[in-house]
Chain A
Amino acid sequence: MRVALGCVGVLGIWWSAVTLAAESRPLTTDGRFKDAPAFIDPAGHELAFVVQETPQWMRAMRLTLADGAVVALNPEWPKNEFEPAFSRDGTWMASVQSRGNLSMALVMRGFPQGREFELPPEGGFCGFRSPTFTPDGKHVYYSFADRDRQAIMAVNRQGGDKRTIIDGPGHANWPSFSPDGRQFAFGSTRHGNYEIYVAQPDGSEVRRLTEHPRQDIRPRFSPDGKRIVFTSGRDGNYEIYVMHADGSHPRRLTNNPERDDYACWHPDSRHIVYVSERDGRYDLYWLEVGDVSP
Chain B
Amino acid sequence: MLGIGNFKAHSCGGVSRRAFLRAGTALPFAIPTAISALGTPATAVASSPLKGRAKSVIFVWLWGAPSHIDTLDPKPDAVGDVRGPFATIPTRTPGLHFTELLPRLADRSHLFTVVRSHVTFSGGHPDAGTWGLTGFDEKPTAKANFGSIVAKHRGTKGTLPPYAMVGRGVPRDVVRKVEGCGGGPLGSVYDPFLLGCDQAGQVEIPSLKLLDGLVPSRIHDRWALLETLDSVQRGFEADKSNWRQRHLQAYQLLTRPEARAALDLTSESPRTRSAYGQTSFGQSCLLARRLVEAHVPYVHVNWSEYVEAVTPNTDFGWDTHVLNFDLLPDRLCPIFDRAFTALLTDLQERGLLDSTLVVAIGEFGRTPKINRRASRDHWQRCYSSIWAGAGIEPGRVIGASDRNGEDPITQPITPLMVGTTITELAGLDTQARAELQVLDGGNVIHALIG
Q: Smallest CB-CB separation from B342: which chain A residue?
A: A280
User: Which residues in A have their C-beta under 8 angstroms from that of B168?
Assistant: 55
Interface residues of B, count at CB 8 A: 50
- 18 intermolecular pairs with C-beta atoms under 8 Å apart: A31-B278, A52-B199, A101-B174, A102-B319, A104-B310, A104-B322, A127-B373, A129-B323, A145-B322, A145-B374, A148-B81, A149-B374, A150-B325, A170-B85, A173-B326, A214-B100, A215-B329, A280-B274
Contact B310 A102 (CB under 8 A): yes
* B308 interface residue (CB < 8 Å to A): yes
The complex places the Cα of A193 from the Cα of B325 at a distance, in Å, of: 11
CB-CB under 8 A for A281 and B85, given A127-B323, A145-B373: no
Contact B278 A280 (CB under 8 A): yes
User: Which residues in A have their C-beta under 8 angstroms from that of B275?
Assistant: 280
User: Which residues in A have their C-beta under 8 angstroms from that of B174?
Assistant: 101
* B279 interface residue (CB < 8 Å to A): yes
Q: List CB contacts (< 8 Å) of B307-355 with chain A.
A: 308-316, 319, 321-323, 325-326, 329-331, 334-335, 338
Partner of B326, one of A129, A170, A213: A129
Prevailing SS type, chain B contact patch: loop
Q: Smallest CB-CB separation from A214: which chain B residue?
A: B87
Contact B313 A79 (CB under 8 A): yes
User: Which residues in B have their C-beta under 8 angstroms from that of A145?
Assistant: 322-323, 373-375
The complex places the Cα of A98 from the Cα of B199 at a distance, in Å, of: 22
CB-CB under 8 A for A35 and B311, given A52-B199, A233-B100, A280-B277: no
Contact B374 A150 (CB under 8 A): yes
Partner of B85, one of A31, A35, A79, A193: A193
| Distance (whole angstroms) from the CB of A257 to the closest CB of chain B | 10
User: Which residues in B have their C-beta under 8 angstroms from that of A80?
Assistant: 310, 312
CB-CB under 8 A for A171 and B280, given A194-B85, A214-B100: no
User: Which residues in B have their C-beta under 8 angstroms from that of A55?
Assistant: 168, 198-199, 280, 304-305, 315-316
Interface residues, chain A, with chain B CB atoms under 8 Å away: 31-33, 35, 52, 55-57, 79-80, 98-104, 124-127, 129, 145-150, 169-171, 173, 189, 192-194, 213-215, 217, 233, 236-237, 259, 277, 279-282
The complex places the Cα of A171 from the Cα of B370 at a distance, in Å, of: 11
* B220 interface residue (CB < 8 Å to A): no
| Distance (whole angstroms) from the CB of B105 to the closest CB of chain A | 13
User: Which residues in B have their C-beta under 8 angstroms from that of A282?
Assistant: 278
Contact A127 B270 (CB under 8 A): no
The complex places the Cα of A190 from the Cα of B322 at a distance, in Å, of: 19
The complex places the Cα of A159 from the Cα of B323 at a distance, in Å, of: 21
User: Which residues in A have their C-beta under 8 angstroms from that of B308?
Assistant: 101-102
Interface residues, chain B, with chain A CB atoms under 8 Å away: 80-81, 85-87, 100, 103, 168, 174, 198-199, 270, 273-280, 282, 304-305, 308-316, 319, 321-323, 325-326, 329-331, 334-335, 338, 370-375
Contact B282 A102 (CB under 8 A): no
Q: Smallest CB-CB separation from A279: which chain B residue?
A: B274
| Distance (whole angstroms) from the CB of B77 to the closest CB of chain A | 12
User: Which residues in A have their C-beta under 8 angstroms from that of B305?
Assistant: 55
The complex places the Cα of A127 from the Cα of B309 at a distance, in Å, of: 11
Contact B282 A280 (CB under 8 A): yes
User: Which residues in B have their C-beta under 8 angstroms from that of A100?
Assistant: 311-312
User: Which residues in A have their C-beta under 8 angstroms from that of B335?
Assistant: 33
| Distance (whole angstroms) from the CB of A277 to the closest CB of chain B | 8
User: Which residues in B have their C-beta under 8 angstroms from that of A148?
Assistant: 81, 370-372, 374
The complex places the Cα of A169 from the Cα of B87 at a distance, in Å, of: 17
| Distance (whole angstroms) from the CB of A182 to the closest CB of chain B | 28
